[in-house]
């Protein structure tokens, strides 16, 4: 994918530019535009690596209250993930597992593993502004959308692609459109979800981008509800390791129950 | 003593205490009118419930796979033979519809709801409320139409509109979940929001394709005459061996039960109102007798027979009752006419619909009901006068005259 993002990229798309991203400097030499599918696939993989382990702090913010918690998560490929709360004590041990297209949750207080019905996938995850789908369906963009490279711009000396994603006709997608802002080093700057009247409903944005675990990434990201003031969830990545060896047993319901230590 | 004289006496007695008897009459009129009106409303409710039970995709009789009622799903379906109608005598059915009905979840940008997803053949749905439902947008074009019809109330909950896409998740025939986006062809306005929230429609062939089946889960029939139900049921049970053949009373037991309760409610209302009134009437009669002890004693002393005195009291009571019942029936009828447009219960629509009624309640007056109410009232009037009459018979002329 890297080669697609090489310096040979022309900025022919500047004609498409509008106010959303500072317009790219016009370049005389026309060259092929990058393939939006490749851009998105690269960004998804970049964010996750082949495998990853991250420690996060989460802040759920509401007009009249806020809640902080700490989590750790393991991912493998595009389909396997395990997320576990480590603090506060009340929530510690609550965990969510994704294996393939199925998801489970585990609550130590009940000592029960519950397979999530698909009907719950669009519901809020752990009371945050993320839905289960946001966590698990990262590849939807590649499978169910028509991607259009709408604009190429420049921010702080780096190239930024705006990719508009329109759901295919019978796609299981409720949004009218998704809009991604991708930096040329695969960092996702923001992801905005539009309803079918093309009004923005919620937005995921990177508030702080720097190197962590050997990669450039949004180390503080915020998902905000755009139709409700002061509704947002922030996740701060405290520690990240990529491409480490993870045992198969990690992504099983047994591991979900036993503390995510690999069973 | 001739009847004419007795009538004259009774009439005079009534007229002698206009205020007292007037009040008694007023109570009578109100009570009878309320019974007539209440009866009309309950009959209206019953007809609503029966109509709705039949309209709500139930029909008069339905064929289902065994176990579907306890655990509805595409696994509990059956294949419909093309010639299934040969089992029935021709001319019995007003219409029929085969459907594929499965539980599903619909999701919009702003909401998630559990519904019944029903694959229908649009033309065949003349048998259900869908046949003449009010629509915004378009109706489904044919059985292969992969768009959906959504109830207005559900669309409001999901904050969606005609032309938008909803995601529907349900279970395929292999037990794995299926999800797909469906465009909304139209929004329908059913009589009740409960229906609008419960059912989402799409073309049956489109749904069969999505779920990976050729079967249907129900066959619903509407008859020309409900009285032919047992005959049709028997024929169906024979040709659909191994499947459940159920009529609307079995499929909607709560509606059937409400039907029976409503009959009882009419009777209880009548008993309470008229029972209270009977004691009022008795009281009025006793009062008037106690006032007339001397007079009645005199009549006895002059040779009037006990029988005639009793007849006079009963006549007096019956006259009162007759006037009251007549006026009451007229008033009740007028009230029912005034409510001919129906009582708008939409304020309580949710509660009302849970009983299977429409949001507008129209009274229905049946002649036989009104006649029965009038007749029973008169009987009650006579019964109420028996005790006072007995008191009159006990009056001893000597004692009475000595007062």
Tell me: the pLDDT tens digits for A219-261? Answer: 999 999 998 888 999 999 999 998 888 888 888 888 888 764 4
Instruction: Scan residues 75-134 of B and list those with Cβ closer than 8 Å to A.
Output: 105, 107-110, 112, 114
pLDDT at residue number A7: 32
Separation in Å, CA of A231 to nearest CA in chain B:
15
Q: From residue B185, how far is each of A134, B112, B220 by CA, in Å?
A: 28, 19, 24
Residues on chain B touching A122 (C-beta within 8 angstroms): 107, 112, 167
Write the ipTM.
0.76
- Which residue of chain A comes nearest to B161, CA vs CA? A196
Asked if the peptide bond before residue A88 counts as cis, ω within 30 degrees of 0, the response is yes
Contact with chain A for residue B137, Cβ under 8 A:
no
- Yes or no: say if B392 and B296 are a contact pair by the CB < 8 Å rule: yes
Contact with chain A for residue B169, Cβ under 8 A:
yes
| Token couple for A126 | 């752990």
Nearest CB partner across the interface for A195, out of B107, B109, B169: B109
Contact with chain B for residue A199, Cβ under 8 A:
no
Nearest CB partner across the interface for B107, out of A122, A176, A195: A122
Contact B180 A170 (CB under 8 A): yes
Separation in Å, CA of B196 to nearest CA in chain A:
20
Nearest CB partner across the interface for A174, out of B165, B177, B183: B165
Contact with chain B for residue A156, Cβ under 8 A:
no
Q: What is the DSSP string of B323-334?
A: HHHHHHHHHHHH
pLDDT at residue number A31: 54
Residues on chain B touching A172 (C-beta within 8 angstroms): 167-169, 179-181
Residues on chain A touching B108 (C-beta within 8 angstroms): 174
- Which residue of chain A comes nearest to B146, CA vs CA? A170
Q: Under CATH, to which class is A34-258 assigned?
A: mainly beta
Question: What is the β-pairing status of strands B134-137 and A215-225?
Answer: unpaired
Separation in Å, CA of A129 to nearest CA in chain B:
13
Nearest CB partner across the interface for B167, out of A123, A172, A195: A172
Question: What is the β-pairing status of strands B134-137 and B61-64?
Answer: unpaired
pLDDT at residue number B42: 86
Residues on chain A touching B164 (C-beta within 8 angstroms): 196
| Other C-beta atoms lying within 10 Å of the C-beta of residue B263 | 13
Residue B145 belongs to what H/E stretch? none
Contact with chain B for residue A100, Cβ under 8 A:
no
Bridge partners, B114 (sequence order): B105
- Yes or no: say if A121 and A172 are a contact pair by the CB < 8 Å rule: no
Tell me the domain boundaries of chain A.
34-258
The CB-based long-range contact list for B370-376 (8 Å cut-off, 24+ gap) reads: B370/B36, B370/B39, B370/B329, B370/B332, B370/B333, B373/B32, B373/B35, B373/B36, B373/B39, B373/B270, B373/B325, B373/B329, B374/B32, B374/B325, B374/B326, B374/B329, B376/B270, B376/B274
**What distance in Å separates the CA atoms of residue B348 and residue B351, rounded to the nearest whole number?**
6
Distance of CA B71 to the CA centre of its chain: 29
Q: From residue A128, how far is each of A67, A224, B194, B274 by CA, in Å?
A: 9, 10, 31, 63
Burial-class residue A254 by CB neighbours within 10 Å (0-12, 13-18, 19+): exposed
- Which residue of chain A comes nearest to B210, CA vs CA? A170
Contact with chain A for residue B209, Cβ under 8 A:
no
Separation in Å, CA of A124 to nearest CA in chain B:
11
Interface mutation vs chain B, best among A103, A115, A116, A119, most B CBs within 10 Å: A119
Contact with chain A for residue B157, Cβ under 8 A:
no
Instruction: Scan residues 317-346 of B and list those with Cβ closer than 8 Å to A.
Output: none
Residues on chain B touching A201 (C-beta within 8 angstroms): 109-110
Burial-class residue B239 by CB neighbours within 10 Å (0-12, 13-18, 19+): middle
Q: What is the DSSP string of B201-212?
A: EEEHHHHHHHHT
pLDDT at residue number B340: 72
Residues on chain B touching A118 (C-beta within 8 angstroms): 105, 169, 177, 179
Residues on chain A touching B167 (C-beta within 8 angstroms): 122, 172-174
Nearest CB partner across the interface for B167, out of A169, A174, A176: A174
- Shortest CA distance to B274 belongs to which of B5, B3, B33? B33
Nearest CB partner across the interface for B181, out of A170, A193, A195: A170
Bridge partners, B163 (sequence order): none
Chains A and B form CB pairs within 8 A to the count of: 51
Contact with chain B for residue A175, Cβ under 8 A:
yes
Is residue A239 classed as helix, strand or coil in its secondary structure? Answer: strand
Which parts of chain A sit beneath pLDDT 70? 1-32, 136-138, 259-263
Which parts of chain B sit beneath pLDDT 50? none
pLDDT at residue number A219: 92
Residues on chain A touching B162 (C-beta within 8 angstroms): none
Contact B181 A123 (CB under 8 A): no
Contact A195 B110 (CB under 8 A): yes
Residues on chain B touching A195 (C-beta within 8 angstroms): 109-110
Interface mutation vs chain B, best among A123, A124, A171, A174, most B CBs within 10 Å: A174
Separation in Å, CA of A181 to nearest CA in chain B:
21
């Amino acid at each position: 994918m890297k080669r697609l993002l090489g310096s040979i990229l022309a900025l022919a798309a500047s004609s498409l530019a509008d106010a959303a991203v500072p317009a790219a400097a016009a370049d005389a030499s026309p060259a092929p535009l990058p393939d939006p599918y490749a851009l998105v696939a690269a960004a998804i993989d970049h964010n996750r690596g082949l495998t990853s382990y991250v420690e996060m702090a989460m802040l759920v913010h509401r007009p009249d209250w806020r809640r902080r918690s700490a989590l750790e998560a393991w991912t493998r490929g595009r389909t396997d993930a395990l997320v576990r709360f480590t603090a506060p004590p009340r929530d510690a041990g609550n965990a969510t597992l994704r294996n393939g297209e199925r998801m489970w949750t585990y609550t130590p207080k009940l000592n029960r593993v519950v397979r999530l019905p698909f009907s719950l996938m669009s519901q809020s995850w752990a009371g945050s502004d993320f839905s289960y789908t946001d966590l698990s369906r990262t590849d939807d963009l590649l499978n169910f959308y028509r991607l259009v490279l709408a604009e190429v711009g420049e921010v702080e000396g780096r190239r930024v692609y705006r990719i508009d994603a329109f759901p295919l006709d019978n796609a299981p997608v409720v949004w009218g459109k998704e809009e991604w802002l991708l930096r040329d080093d695969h960092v996702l700057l923001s992801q905005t979800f539009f309803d079918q009247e093309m009004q923005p409903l919620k937005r995921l944005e990177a508030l702080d981008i720097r190197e962590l675990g050997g990669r450039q990434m949004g180390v503080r990201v915020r998902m905000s509800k755009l139709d409700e003031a002061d509704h947002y969830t922030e996740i701060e990545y405290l520690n990240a390791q990529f491409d480490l060896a993870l045992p198969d047993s990690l992504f099983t319901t047994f591991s979900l129950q036993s503390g995510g230590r690999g069973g | 003593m001739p009847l004419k004289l007795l009538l004259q006496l009774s009439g005079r007695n009534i007229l002698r205490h206009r205020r007292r008897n007037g009040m008694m009459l007023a109570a009578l009129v109100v009570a009878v009118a309320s019974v007539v009106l209440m009866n009309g409303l309950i009959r209206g409710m019953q007809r609503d419930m029966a109509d709705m039970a039949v309209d709500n995709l139930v029909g008069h009789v339905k064929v289902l796979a065994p176990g579907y009622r306890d655990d509805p799903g595409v696994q509990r379906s059956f294949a419909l033979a093309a010639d299934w109608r040969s089992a029935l005598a021709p001319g019995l059915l007003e219409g029929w519809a085969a459907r594929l009905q499965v539980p599903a979840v619909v999701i919009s940008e702003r909401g998630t709801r559990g519904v019944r997803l029903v694959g229908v053949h649009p033309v065949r749905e003349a048998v259900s409320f869908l046949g003449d439902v009010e629509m915004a947008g378009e109706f489904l074009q044919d059985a292969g139409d992969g768009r959906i019809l959504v109830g207005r109330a559900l669309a409001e909950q999901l904050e969606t509109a005609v032309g938008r896409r909803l995601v529907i998740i349900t279970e395929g025939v292999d037990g794995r979940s299926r999800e797909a986006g469906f465009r909304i062809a139209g929004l329908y306005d059913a009589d009740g929001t409960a229906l609008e929230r419960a059912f989402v429609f799409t073309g049956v062939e489109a749904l069969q394709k999505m779920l990976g089946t050729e079967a249907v889960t129900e066959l619903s029939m509407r008859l020309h005459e409900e009285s032919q139900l047992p005959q049709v049921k028997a024929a169906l049970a024979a040709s659909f061996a191994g499947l459940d053949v159920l009529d609307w009373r079995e499929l909607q037991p709560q509606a059937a039960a409400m039907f029976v309760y409503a009959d009882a409610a009419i009777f209880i209302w009548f008993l309470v109102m008229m029972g209270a009134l009977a004691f009022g009437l008795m009281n009025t009669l006793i009062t008037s007798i106690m006032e007339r002890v001397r007079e009645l004693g005199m009549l006895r002393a002059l040779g009037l027979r006990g029988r005639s005195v009793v007849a006079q009291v009963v006549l007096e009571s019956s006259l009162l009752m007759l006037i009251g019942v007549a006026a009451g029936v007229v008033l009740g009828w007028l009230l029912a006419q005034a409510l001919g447009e129906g009582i708008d219960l939409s304020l309580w629509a949710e509660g009302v619909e849970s009983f299977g009624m429409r949001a507008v309640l129209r009274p229905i007056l049946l002649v036989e009901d009104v006649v029965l109410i009038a007749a029973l009232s008169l009987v009650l009037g006579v019964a109420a006068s028996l005790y006072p009459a007995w008191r009159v018979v006990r009056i001893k002329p000597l004692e009475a005259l000595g007062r």
